[in-house]
Amino acid sequence: QSVLTQPPSASGTPGQTVTISCSGSSSNIGTNSVNWYQQLPGAAPKLLIFTNNQRPSGVPDRFSGSRSGTSASLAISGLQSEDEADYYCAAWDDSLNCGVFGGGTKLTVL
C-alpha cells in the first residue's frame, strides 16, 4: 500500500487530454513539493515535473503539474502514442522522514 495514492490505470486517444491524480496527506503533499516521473518499459525513470509544476528543460509543455491541498495532478494534453508509459508521483514525507512514491499509473494511448 503506497503512501501516495494514484489510479492504477488511465487511457485516452491521440490528441486528448488525460489527467492523473495523486492523493496524499498533510505530512507529504500538503507540506512538500510534488515531483512526477515517466517510466518507459526497461528504462530508468525520467523527471517530468518538479516542485509541483516546473518542467525540466526538454520536457514538452504538453505536460503540466498542479498541487492543491493534499492532492496533486499531472495533465498531459495533445496525447501522443509515445506518451504510453508508467507515471509516478513522489514527495518527501515529514512524518515518515523518507521519500515516498505513488503506486504508479499505467497510461494507455488507445
Partner 1 sequence: EVQLLESGGGLVQSGGSLRLSCVTSGFTLSTFAMSWVRQAPGKGLEWVAVISRNGGTTYYADSVRGRFTISRDMSKSTVFLQMNSLRADDTATYFCAKDQTPGADNYGSGSYYYWGQGILVTVSS
82 phi and psi angles, rounded to 5 deg: -75, -10
Q: How far is the CB of 15 from partner 1 (least distance, A)?
A: 28
How do strand 9-12 and strand 105-109 relate by DSSP bridges?
parallel
CA distance 110 to 2: 27
Quick one: which of 25, 27, 35, 64 contacts partner 1 (CB under 8 A)? 35
Of 79-98, binders to partner 1 (CB under 8 A) are: 86, 88, 90-92, 96-98
The stretch among 13-21, 32-40, 68-76, 77-85 that binds partner 1 (CB under 8 A) is 32-40
